[in-house]
Amino acid sequence: MPFLLKLLAADKPLSLQAHPTLERARVAFAEEEARGIPRDSPARNYKDEWHKPELIVALHDGFEGLCGFRPLGETDDFLRHLCTGDEEDRSQVAQLRAHLNLDGLEHAVRWILIDRPPGLVNELVEAAATRDVGRWENEARLLRRLDEQYPGDPGVAVASLLNFAILQAGEALFLPAGNVHAYVKGLGVEIMAASDNVLRGGLTSKHVDVDEFLAVVDFTPLRSPIILGTVAPSAYVEYQVPSHDFRLLRVDRDTTTELDLSHAGIALVVSGQVTVTQGDQSLVLNQGEAVFISPSHPRVGVRSSGTVFIATGAEA
C-alpha cells in the first residue's frame, strides 16, 4: 500500500523536521546511492526515493504541534513582545526581528541555523519567562519547554517563527512537502506516504543536515494550519487534503454507513466497538484492533458504536 497508518503518542517534543518533494527525493536518493552511503547509515538523509506528506488527527483535546511558518506580521508582534521596546535595543532577539522584517523569513531562518548567533536562544527563553507577552502566552511557555528539553538548540529559535497549534479531538494538521513541523504533545492517528525520508533541523540528537533541511523547506507562511473533516452524505467524515497517496475517513459513534473503496485499506478502531462488513463476511472489532480491507469488494459496510478510522489509497 502507498501509505503508512499509525497511532502517534508524544509525551515530549519530537524533532523539528520537513520532508522533500517527490522530485527532490528521487534526485537526492540517486545522489546518495552514487556516493555509496549505506542506506542504514545515521548520516544518510534519503532512505528511499519517495515523498512523505503526512496528516495527523487528534484523538483527545489538547494535542500540540508546530506546523508551518506563522504569517510575518504575527511573528513580528510576538518578537516585539520579547524585545525591550528601546530603539537602542541591540539584543539578539531584536536582530532576529530586524532580519525578519528587512531580509525576509528565509534569511532569518538561515541566520539562525547557519550563523547560530550566540545567546539568541537564551535571550528568547529568558524574555519568554520574564516579559508580558500578551496573547502569546502559549507560545512563550512552549519556548521555555523546548529549551528545557533541548537546551540552547537553535531549533528553539526556529520554533518562535512557527504556528503553534493546539488541537481539539477530531481536528487535524496536514504536513505537505516542505512544511516545517514538530509534534509537541498528545495522541493522534497519523497517516503518511510510505517513505522514511526525514530532514531534521533541530530539537533532536539524531542526524541534522542543515543545508539539505533548508533546501527542502517551504518558507511560504501558513495562516491557519488546523483543518477539519468534512461530513459526507453517507455520514462518514473525510479529511480532504491534496494527496495522491492516501485518504483518511472517520466513522463516529452511533453511525451506520457504507463506503465505496476502490483501493485496499485498513480500519483502525480507537474507541468502542465497530462491525465491518465486506461481501458476505463481517468482523467485530474492539478498541485497538484493526483489519485489512481488500480491494476485491469495494463496498464496505461499517456499523459503529465507537470511533473507527479507515485509511485507503487516493484516486489518481
Give the C-alpha separation, 83 to 304, whole Å.
Answer: 53
Cell of 74: 504575527
User: Looking at beta carbons, which pairs linking 70-79 to residues 24 or more positions away fall under 8 Å?
Assistant: 70/161, 70/162, 70/163, 70/221, 70/222, 71/221, 71/222, 71/223, 72/100, 72/101, 72/105, 72/221, 75/100, 75/160, 75/161, 76/100, 76/101, 77/136, 78/133, 78/136, 78/139, 78/160, 79/160
Respond yes or no: is residue 200 known to be catalytic: yes
In order, the DSSP letters of 177-189 are TT--EEEEEEEEE
Residue 114 class from Cβ within 10 Å (0-12 exposed, 13-18 middle, 19+ buried)? exposed
Q: Of residues 70, 97, 200, 250, which has the active-site annotation?
A: 200
Are the C-beta atoms of residues 87 and 148 closer than 8 Å to each other?
no
DSSP code of residue 160? T
For residue 4, the SS3 value is strand
How far, in Å, are 61, 122, 255, 314 from residue 308 at the CA level?
17, 44, 10, 18
Distance, C-alpha 230 to centroid of its chain: 20
Owner of C-alpha cell 472517520: 250
* Residues acting as catalytic residues: 200
